[in-house]
Amino acid sequence: MTDDGSAPPEGGGQKPRRVELNLDADTARGRYANATVVSHGRHEVVLDFIAALPHHRPQVVSRLVLPREQAEALAQTLRRTLDAARAQPGTAVPSARSDEDPN
């Protein structure tokens, strides 16, 4: 059975679930951030996105608090996305040096 109570499609495979998201105008505009600070607690990971602009004090423009499992899934998705972008001709994705924390 699927989440909606129907039987899965023939062949045992399930269709990918579509999730419709609501996005208000303020969120759709986004926020500029050119730095991040990543910290963690016992059960969560905190991502602070920072706008560090010349002649201004750096300011946290958004904070996300994620359960550890969701943070792991995000890290895997980011890695796959960046690897795919790097593989496309004409796209340059800078890679962080292994001895340097990119945050």
Give 9-62 pLDDT, tens digit per residue: 555 567 788 999 999 999 999 999 999 999 999 999 999 999 999 999 999 999
Higher pLDDT, 32 or 93: 32
Count how many domains the chain has.
1
Residue 61 falls within a domain, yes or no? yes
* pLDDT of 53: 95
Residue 12 falls within a domain, yes or no? no
Question: How far is the C-alpha of 78 from the C-alpha of 72, rounded, in Å?
Answer: 10
Residue 103 falls within a domain, yes or no? no
Residue 58 falls within a domain, yes or no? yes
* pLDDT of 88: 87
Counts of helices then strands in the chain (DSSP H, E): 2, 3
Residue 55 falls within a domain, yes or no? yes
* pLDDT of 60: 98
Residue 37 falls within a domain, yes or no? yes
Which residue, among 3, 58, 12, 4, has the nearest Cα to 33 in the 3D structure? 58
Give 68-86 pLDDT, tens digit per residue: 999 999 999 999 999 999 9
Residue 18 falls within a domain, yes or no? no
- Provide the domain limits for residue 64: 29-87
Q: Is-contact 85 79, C-beta < 8 A?
A: no
Residue 50 falls within a domain, yes or no? yes
